[in-house]
């Protein structure tokens, strides 16, 4: 294929004189375009119908249809084709008509100079290429602008839809996380019941500690997340004691010998380390580590003092000591409830946060002894007074310490019948702390947060 054909450009020469056509072909034979010829206007129009042409050079004076008329038709039918008029006469009228009707790009004179002819054609084709590229870019710009307008028109809707999708995903994650946290709370209370199996019934302290910190958290309006962490810490605060033998477990801490006391002082840190593999329990583990710190800095394991002790750990220590004083786990002599409260008051500002201790004593004074580990809105009922729809406000444990039902469980008629049958088989009577059906929905919502 010739260089001309590789460029894909065509120039049409129109003249009624074959010698002129031959001379033009010789002058332009080495140019980078294909040359086509026609010896009259009619032949030129027929060729243009079959073959796209970039540029037409027409003689002005031809029999039949002259050059200006031909170029006028070319302009009407193929406006993208450049038009040049070649004339050997100084005919002003012809030139004006060609310019007005044919919108010619340029006119050339006969005889021509070969170099000038080639330069004129190169300039004409370069101009045409620039015009085509300009139109292409304009067309591309319009298309892109239309596309951009469409995108802008849809962008707000897409943003709303995407925002809604993200919000839905976030809500699902929040719900899943809340369910996971609730599952961890339930699991920790199951572990707590297992820990209690190592102790006699009269020294099982976890359930009471859990109830107390729940009531205390409610009174102080502790945020839900911190309240969950505190409840889990209350359930597992003595996890580090699992490795102790039964003799050490049952011995009051004030009667421990030196070696036993050293081991006793290690149990909070050991409890935290046992929970390190469970990320949702990290915060609860930190409270467990520091729940034996003292307000005056003489506690263990890190000798923290005053506000350096986490708030939840300060609260947990008060509840743990209050219960363990009555269980005989701290002093050789078991204290009564009133004596335990008096002990807390005397040691406020030394062992305990004085402000928290004051609130705790006020809470215990307001609640009846048997309800000291519950909270307002809770009623105590035996199994035969239960109704479907009620929700447990605290865990239900068998006399052996085994966890039967966990807090937040909604009662149904079959479940109530099973509890009554279990009582008969065990020869026991159970009191359940429940919320009435009217407040059950609020309880379930609170547990899910």
Check pLDDT > 80 for residue 135. yes
Check pLDDT > 80 for residue 248. no
Evaluate whether 227 touches 179 at the Cβ level (below 8 Å). Answer: no
pLDDT at residue number 184: 60
Each residue of 107-129: b (16+ CB within 10 Å) or e? bbeeebeeeebeebbeebbeebe
In the block, which residue shows the tokens 């031909």?
A: 70
pLDDT bracket for residue 213 (50, 70, 90): confident
Encoded tokens for 395: 């865990």
Q: Determine how β-strand 396-397 pairs with β-strand 34-38.
A: unpaired
Q: Determine how β-strand 396-397 pairs with β-strand 403-405.
A: antiparallel
Check pLDDT > 90 for residue 378. no
As a whole number, mean pLDDT of residues 348-353 equals 92
Read off the pLDDT of residues 156-212 as tens digits, 9 standing for 90 and up: 777 777 788 778 777 776 666 666 656 666 666 666 666 666 666 666 777 788 888
Read off the pLDDT of residues 103-132 as tens digits, 9 standing for 90 and up: 778 878 888 899 989 998 999 999 889 988
Cα torsion at 155, 161, 166, 172 (round to 10°)?
Answer: 180
């Amino acid at each position: 294929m010739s260089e001309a054909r590789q460029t894909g450009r065509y120039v049409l020469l129109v003249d009624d004189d074959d010698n002129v056509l031959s001379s033009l072909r010789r002058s332009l034979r080495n140019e980078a375009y294909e040359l086509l010829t026609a010896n009259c206007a009619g032949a030129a129009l027929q060729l243009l119908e079959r073959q796209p042409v970039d540029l037409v050079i027409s003689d002005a004076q031809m029999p039949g249809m002259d050059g200006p008329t031909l170029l006028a038709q070319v302009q009407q039918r193929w406006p993208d084709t450049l038009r040049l008029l070649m004339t050997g006469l100084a005919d002003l009228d012809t030139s004006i008509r060609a310019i007005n009707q044919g919108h010619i790009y340029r006119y050339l004179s006969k005889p021509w100079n070969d170099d000038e002819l080639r330069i004129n054609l190169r300039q004409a084709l370069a101009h045409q290429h620039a015009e085509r590229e300009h139109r292409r870019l304009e067309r591309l710009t319009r298309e892109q602008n239309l596309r951009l307008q469409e995108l802008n028109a849809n962008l707000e809707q897409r943003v709303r839809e995407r925002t809604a999708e993200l919000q839905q995903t976030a809500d699902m994650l929040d719900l899943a996380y809340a369910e996971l946290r609730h599952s961890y709370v339930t699991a920790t209370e199951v572990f707590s019941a297992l820990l209690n199996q190592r102790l006699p019934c009269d020294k099982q302290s976890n359930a009471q500690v859990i109830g107390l910190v729940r009531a205390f958290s409610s009174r102080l309006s502790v945020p839900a997340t911190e309240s969950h962490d505190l409840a889990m810490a209350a359930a597992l605060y003595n996890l580090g004691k699992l490795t102790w033998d039964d003799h050490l477990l049952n011995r009051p801490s004030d009667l421990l010998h030196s070696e036993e006391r050293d081991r006793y002082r290690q149990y909070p840190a050991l409890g935290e380390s046992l929970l390190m593999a469970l990320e949702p329990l990290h915060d609860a583990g930190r409270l467990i580590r520091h729940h034996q710190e003292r307000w005056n800095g003489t506690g263990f394991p890190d000798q923290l003092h005053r506000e350096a002790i986490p708030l939840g750990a300060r609260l947990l220590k008060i509840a743990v000591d209050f219960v363990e004083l009555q269980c005989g786990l701290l002093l050789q002599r078991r204290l009564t409830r009133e004596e335990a409260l008096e002990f807390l008051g005397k040691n406020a500002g030394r062992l305990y946060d004085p402000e928290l201790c004051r609130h705790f004593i006020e809470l215990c004074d307001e609640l009846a002894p048997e309800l000291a580990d519950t909270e307002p809105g809770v009623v105590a009922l035996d199994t035969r007074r239960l109704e479907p729809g009620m929700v447990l406000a605290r865990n239900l444990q068998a006399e052996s310490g085994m966890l039967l039902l966990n807090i937040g469980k909604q009662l149904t008629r079959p479940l109530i019948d099973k509890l009554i049958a279990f009582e008969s088989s065990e020869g026991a009577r159970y009191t359940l702390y429940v919320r009435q059906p009217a407040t059950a929905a609020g309880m379930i919502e609170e547990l899910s947060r």
